[in-house]
Structure 1
Amino acid sequence: LGPTVYGLLKSLTAPVKLLDMSFTQLTETFSQHYKPKLILTAEWFCFYRQNQEEGETLADYILALKLLASTCEFGQFLDDALRDQFVCGLRGESYQKWLLSEKDLTFKSACDIALTLELACKDTKELAGHTKPPRRAVHHVKPKPQASSTKPKQLCYCCGGNHQQSTYGFRHERCHGCGKIGHLTQYIMDTVPEAEQEKEPLELFTIYTTQGNGKGICLQIGLGNKPVSMQLDTGASVSLVPEHIYKSHLSKCPLQPSLIQLTSYTGDRIPVLGEIQAPVTYEGRVWTLPLVVAQGNRPAILGRNWPDKIKLNWNKIFTLCAKTVASQDVVNKMLDKHGPLFQEGYSTIIDFKAKIWIRKGATSIFHKPRPVPYALKEPVEKELDCLE
């Protein structure tokens, strides 16, 4: 043995000395190193995934199947395995139908039939190429232009229909979309360019004013190597920071123009200055994530687009939630002040009708339900079940 092979053998047999081992043991050690035992499941997986590629001839496909089957140890089932995969992996559906109709099909007979069909198909295409009929020239005759007697259509200003505006039944009604008289809301939506219709605002379901101790759940997130207290709101569509945090922490990040339009839960528009790719640090890990910069004095929001990338420490967050609950002293004072209400015997309010006072002429506004954060979904469902 050479010095390299001898050193390798010595390393493989350590701590046993080479003189203490027999020739058979040394041979088995070399065999296990240079030719490890194959995993049959992996070999079968590769075999049964072998299909005929586009442009691959049947001869090449048959050879590829035989090479893969040589390491699968099929034994007496080798012919059946080759036949089944050969038929299933063929690209030509007509070949498969022909082979499936054969009785007592073997791998050899399947290969012979498929090769014969391939050769016949090739010869047919070559014969068809030599017997194409000659092309004849066709002269195009231009029709004489006919005078158009139709008048241009006059569309209705109110609804866009093909009739006079004076005959429109709702020409004196007020439009619900723009407030003008005579408009139809659907016609306004149809006349708006498609690009403008697609610019729907991303809703940011966040309440920006807090009272008392209700400051929400705040996490310390590193923005530009400086810690920033960001309010966790999984109902918010995006994460954002106010303008003053961008100037003090992230001024080196170029502010890119953004088409994102944000509205609060009450429907108020949130002015957006732009969007940046911010370096974000959380519990020792660093990411580069999109961050919206908003105008005005508002809290930094950690929306639901960041938790898809950042793995938040929910155990720590739930601990923070428990600390924000009112202290026991406040609870005791409430119980002392309203003691009779908490005595046994009282039940829930029955047959009580609430009155809502609104100003005269007020128009109702529809707001879709606020999405519940995933962490609060189960307790909210239980509370709703109790209210039913």
Structure 2
Amino acid sequence: MNIAGSDVDMEVDMGAAVTVIPTGVYQSALSHVQLSPPSSVRLQTYSGESLEVRGEADVPVRYGNQFAVLKIVVVDVNKGPAILGRSWLQVIHMDWSSLFQVQGEKRPSLVEWFPALFGPGVGTLAGSQVRITLKEGAQPKFYRPRPILYALQEKVDSELAKRRHTETCGKQSVGCAHSSGPEGR
């Protein structure tokens, strides 16, 4: 982002109402900009700490082929990034696809690291013994199934149809849902 003729690296913060420049960034890149005394704006960090406002200025801003005169608020903080707040985002239209490009080496996915966990079919617990202790006189309870998110409904229906087709549910050693409720008796 070019601010008053200087290129300044900024972090987009949707939680920030205004664009904030730390004094360290101001002194290194924008010291030629004259600040006016701060208005009544009061700023707080996410953790609730107050920030002392050193001054404000209306500065020319260029992003790509866009140009605008926008307000910066300089705060008395030496370290930290310049924060591009919502006040600028309402005027400057960001090229989000270029901002969120991830570069680097490809890491193996969890499926590649643990192929046995994600293989087809029903899994079993091998090499361990399991003991389930129930209270004396415990009665099974039937709970209606929870509603499925609409976005997942098609995938769930597809998986259930596949399992019905292969009759996986009938081959499990642990009882299926139809054997735990009153309908299955």
TM-score (norm 1): 0.28
CA offset digits 1:162-212 (Å, max 9, x no partner): xxxxxxxxxxxxxxxxxxxxxxxxxxxxxxxxxxxxxxxxxxxxxxxxxxx
Q: Map 1:30-41 onto structure 2 (within 5 A).
A: none
Aligned AA for 2:88? W
Structure 1 residue 289 corresponds to structure 2 residue 75: no
Pick from 246, 251, 255: which aligns with 2:35? Answer: 255
Structure holding more helix per residue: 1
Matched, 1:274 2:55: yes
Per the alignment, residue 39 of structure 1 pairs with none
Summarize the Cα distance change of 1:249–1:319 in structure 2 as closer, same or farther, 3 Å threshold: closer
Which of the numbers 110, 113, 118 marks the counterpart of 1:337? 113
Shift in alpha-carbon separation, 1:339–1:267, aligned structure 2, 3 A: farther
Deviation readout 1:37-78 (Å, 9 max, x if unpaired): xxxxxxxxxxxxxxxxxxxxxxxxxxxxxxxxxxxxxxxxxx
What residue is the counterpart of 2:18 in the other structure? Answer: 238
Higher RCO (C-alpha under 8 Å, 6+ residues apart): 2
Partner of 1:303: 85
Deviation at 1:302, TM superposition (A): 0.9
CA shift for structure 1 position 320: 3.2
Show the 5 A alignment for 1:91-240.
221-240=1-20
Query: CA separation in 2, counterparts of 1:304 and 1:298?
Result: 18
Sort the Cα spacing of 1:237 and 1:338 in 2 relative to 1 into closer, same or farther, 3 A: farther
Partner of 2:182: none
Count of equivalent residues:
124
Identify unmatched segments of 5+ residues in structure 1: 1-220, 347-382
Secondary structure of the residue aligned to 1:306 is: helix
Aligned AA for 2:96? Answer: I
Question: What is the RMSD computed on CA atoms of the aligned residues?
Answer: 2.9
8 Å CA contact 1:250, 1:278 repeated in 2: no
Q: Could you say which residue in structure 2 is the equivalent of 1:318?
A: 97
Query: Rg bigger for which structure?
Result: 1
Q: AA paired with 2:18?
A: V
What's the offset of the Cα at 1:299? Answer: 0.7
What is the rounded CA distance, in whole Å, between the counterparts of 1:265 and 1:246 in structure 2? 22
Give how far 1:325 is off: 7.1
Distance 1:269 1:324, change over 3 A: farther
1:302-334 superposed Cα distances (whole Å, 9 cap, x missing partner): 111012222x14xx322432x22775x21x154
Q: Is the 8 A contact 1:253 1:277 kept in 2?
A: no
Seq. identity, %: 29
1:236 Cα shift? 1.5
Q: How far apart, in 1, do the equivalents of 2:52 and 2:27 lie?
A: 16
**How far 1:283 moved relative to its partner?**
1.6
Letter aligned with residue 242 of structure 1: P
Question: How many angstroms apart in 2 are the aligned matches of 1:238 and 1:257?
Answer: 16
CA contact (8 A) 2:6 2:30 kept: no
Question: Contact conserved, 1:234 with 1:303, CA < 8 A, in 2?
Answer: yes
**Does the 8 Å CA contact 1:255/1:276 hold for their aligned counterparts?**
yes
Q: Which runs of 5+ in 2 are unaligned?
A: 124-148, 153-185
With normalisation by structure 2, the TM-score equals 0.55
| 1:301 positional shift | 1.1
- The residue identity in structure 2 corresponding to 1:223 is I
How far apart, in 1, do the equivalents of 2:23 and 2:96 lie?
Answer: 27
Q: CA deviation at 1:341?
A: 4.2
Structure 1 segments of 4+ aligned residues over 3 angstroms from their partners: 333-346
Q: Which has the higher strand share?
A: 2
Equivalent residue letter for 1:271 = E
CA distance in 2, matches of 1:340, 1:257: 65
Q: Which residue type is aligned with residue 87 of structure 2? A: N
